[in-house]
Structure formats: structure tokens, C-alpha cells
Structure 1
């Protein structure tokens, strides 16, 4: 990062075509991490893993928290995919989170130089939080609000979330790019991570056929290392262990050229999640230590 905040975004962000392979981590913020923790872990994402972004997951409603995220990302040289979290309670708290985030984006001078995108999520279509046309209207309004900051807006959901809402074409038309959840472990026919490419390809094919060449990023993306509670597959043949978690990311690496050739500048991906403390079964780190060797490709 420069020593002072630039006066313009011209030439600031890389082209989507250069953003392929591993982008960084989904990073759960329910713990409202301290500035010290954010600085330490964001720098680790940048230096140990060559991460370029963090994709926020969950919500911290503590006043000023996103300012802390911005400072930590700036210090680490990372971009942020911010999130308007709907949660699972069916309340209207997401509106307060939206307004708070937009206020910070407009008032923090570093915000537009750190915030690569704003997402509505997680899985609002699958959870039927809003009808598709209402969600599309929220995306359009957000794009208008953030237009002076040149921050793209998207929705973080599964292909099935769209499919279960008649395709939700109004949402796909509204988003600037596609944040696609890729969790093949939950397929009714899941077996092992190594054999999950057909599922990945089918979802990509469906999305590609409905978005007219928009960029696709796999946002909530991974294979769990254990089955329990929310990480239990509906397939009796699905295998969950550390080897499978590693094998899924190895699979994406092995398909780097195929993902790179996808329309819209190629498919890039996040790993879900940074640590076990943020979501048991999905973390790459556990008590600060790698669960398995992890140095994914950032180009090919």
C-alpha cells in the first residue's frame, strides 16, 4: 500500500482476468476480532498464503468494526469482499447492517481502496429471505449508492438457490459478478472430493448459461473435514475427513486451466474458512497450525 491514501481509483484494481485461482479466505467475524487479531491474521493471509482478499462471513455489529477491518486490510495489503449478513432469524437487522456498512464506505477515506466488492448474503435465495425481484432491487439500489466509490455489488448464493426460485434471473441480471457457493459435499450423490468435479462443472455450466459472460468467484467454497450438525451431508456415501478437505482444494488446483478459461475472466476461489475457530470442519488452520499442506495456485 502507498504511504498515503491515493486521490483516485484509476488503475488501482487488477483486471478480473488476472484474478484466477486462490484469492484468499472466507473469514468469519462473529467473534468481533480485535484490531490486533485482524492485523495479525490478515498479514498472515497475505504473507503465508499469498492471499489477495478476505471475504467476510457472518456479522459483527460492533460500532466501528468495519473501520478496523479496513485498517487491517490496508496494513496487510489485502482487499475485502464485504458482506451484508441476513442471518437466520428472519429479522430486519440486515437493513441496519447495510446502512452502517454504506456509511463507513462513504466516510472512511481508505474504504474504496480496500473494499473490492459488497455481497448480500449468505444464501438469501436459498433461505427465501427476500423474493428474487426484491433482492434484485436491493442490489440495484446498492449499486446506485456505491457508484461514486466504484464498488461492485453481488449476491452470495448457490446455483440451487437460483434454481429453486425459478432461476431468479432478475438477480443474476442485477449483480456485477457472481459469488457462487460451491459445496459439493452436500450433493445427494456426494462421495469423495476427488470425484466432485462433475458437480462443480454442472453448477458452473448452469450459471454460465444465465449470466452472459460475467465473472464467477467461488465464495463459500470447500469440503469439510468432519460431519456434524450443519456439516452433515444428505448423501450416505459422502466422506468427510482432513484428507478430503485437502483433496478438494488440490482438485481445484488441478483444474486451474479449465477454470481460467471460463467466460468473464476465469473462475477464482476463496477457501472456506480461515480457521477451525471460525467454523469447525472448514478451517485451514487449527490453533494456528495448518491441518494439511496448503499452498494453492494463484495463477496458471
Structure 2
């Protein structure tokens, strides 16, 4: 990062066509990590894995928490895909989270130089948190609010989440970029991770066909190393273990050129998730603080 905050966003972000293959980690913030913890982890993402971005997952309602995220990301040299978390209780707490995020984005001078996108929910269509037209209105209003900051607005969602809403084309038209969830372990055709490329391609092609050429990131993207409550397969052949978690990311690396060739600037993917302490079964780091398997994903090809 420069020694002083720039005065303009002109020529600040790299072209989308350079953001393909591995771009960073999903990172859960429900523990409301301290600035020191955030900076340590973000710096590790940048220096150890050449990660460009952190995709926020979950929520922390501590006052000024997103300012802590911005300041840690600035010092670490990473960007952020911010998130407005709806949760699963059907309450209206998301409105306060939206307002707090927008306040931080407008008042923190570094925020627009760190925030690559704002996600209006994680699987909001699949969870039916709002009627489709209401969600579209929220996206459009957010785009207007953030227009001077030039921050794209999207939702983070499964292809199935769109499909079960009849395609939700109103949402696809409203969002600026596509943050797609890629979780082939849950497919009814799943077996082992090394055989899951057709499942990945099936969902990816759906976004290509219906996404109007928009940039695609795979945000919630991975294969579990174990099953647990809420992480159960829909195929009796689906295998969850560390070897398959590792094999899934190896598969993505093998198809780097395929991701690079996708219209809209290629496909950048996140690993879900940074630590086992955040979401058991998905962490790249185990609860002991060590990597569960060697992880050096490709960032270009």
C-alpha cells in the first residue's frame, strides 16, 4: 500500500482479467477478532499464500468492527469482499449491519481502497430471507448509495439458490459481479473430489449462460474434510476426508486455464475457509494452528 491514502480510485484496482485462479480465503468473523488478530491473519494470507482478498463470512456486531477490518487489510495489503449477514432467524438485524457497513465505507478514508465488493447476504435466495423483488430493490439502493465509492454490489449465492427462484434474473441483472458458491460435495451426483469437475462446470456454466458476461468469483468454495450437523451429503458415494478436501483444490489448480478463459475476466476462487476453528471440516488450517495439508494454490497460469 502507498504511504498515504490516494486521492482517486483511477487505475487503483487491477483489471478483472488478472483476477482468476486462487484469490484468497473466506474468513469468518463471528469471533469478533481483534485488530491484531485480523492483521496477523490477513498478513499471512498475503505473504504465505499470495492471497489478494479476504471474503468476509458471518458477522460481528461490535461497534466499528469493519473499520478494524479495513485498517488491518490496508496494513496487510489485501482487499476485502465485505458482507451484510442476514443469519437464519428471520430478524431485521441485517438492516443495522447494512447501515453500519455503509457508514464505515463512507467515513473511513481507506475503505474504498480496500473494499472490492459488498455482498448483500450469503445464500439469501436459498434461505429465502427476502422476497426476490425486495432483495433486488436493496441491491439497487446499495449500488446508488455506494456509487461515489465505486464499490460493486452483489450477493453470494448457489446456482441452485437462483434456480429454485425460477432463475432470479432480476437479481442477476441488478448485481455488478457474480459471487458464486461452489460446493459440489452436496450434489446428488457427488463421489470423490477428484471426479467433481463436471459438477463444477455444470454450475459454472449456468452462471455464464445467465450472468450477462459479468465477472465471476467462487466465494464459498470447498470440499469438507468431515461431515457434521449441517454438513451431510446428498449422495451415498460422497466422501468427506482431508484427502478429498486437498484433492478438490488440486482439481481447481489443474483447471486454471479453464477458469482463465471464462468470459467476463475469468473465474477467481476463494478457499472456504481459513481455519477449522471458523467452520469445522472446511478449514485450511486445523484447530492446532497447522495446515491440514500442503496448500500452495496457483494464482496465475
TM range (shorter): over 0.9
How many residues are matched? 300
Deviation at 1:207, TM superposition (A): 1.2
CA deviations 1:169-211 (Å, max 9, x no partner) are: 0000000010000000001121000111111101111111111
Q: Show the counterpart of 1:292.
A: 293
Alpha-carbon distance in structure 2 between the residues aligned to 1:36 and 1:206: 41
Q: Show the counterpart of 1:236.
A: 236
CA deviations 1:253-283 (Å, max 9, x no partner) are: 0001011100100011000000001100000
Q: How does 1:142-157 map to 2 (within 5 A)?
A: 142-157=142-157
Query: Which SS does the other structure have where 1:170 is aligned?
Result: helix
Alpha-carbon distance in structure 2 between the residues aligned to 1:110 and 1:288: 30
Q: Show the counterpart of 2:193.
A: 193
Alpha-carbon distance in structure 2 between the residues aligned to 1:66 and 1:51: 20
Q: Does 1:7 align with 2:7?
A: yes
Alpha-carbon distance in structure 2 between the residues aligned to 1:141 and 1:177: 16
**Structure 2 residue runs without a partner (length 5+):** none
Query: Which SS does the other structure have where 2:230 is aligned?
Result: helix
Extract structure 1 runs of 4+ deviating beyond 3 A. none
Q: Show the counterpart of 2:158.
A: 158
Alpha-carbon distance in structure 1 between the residues aligned to 2:205 and 2:60: 35
Alpha-carbon distance in structure 1 between the residues aligned to 2:204 and 2:241: 25
Q: Show the counterpart of 1:247.
A: 247
Q: Show the counterpart of 2:280.
A: 280
Alpha-carbon distance in structure 2 between the residues aligned to 1:35 and 1:60: 13
Q: How does 1:92-241 map to 2 (within 5 A)?
A: 92-241=92-241
Query: Which SS does the other structure have where 1:279 is aligned?
Result: coil
CA deviations 1:198-250 (Å, max 9, x no partner) are: 11101111111111111110000000000111111121110000000000000
Deviation at 1:134, TM superposition (A): 1.2
CA deviations 1:11-33 (Å, max 9, x no partner) are: 10001000001010000000000
Alpha-carbon distance in structure 1 between the residues aligned to 2:27 and 2:97: 17
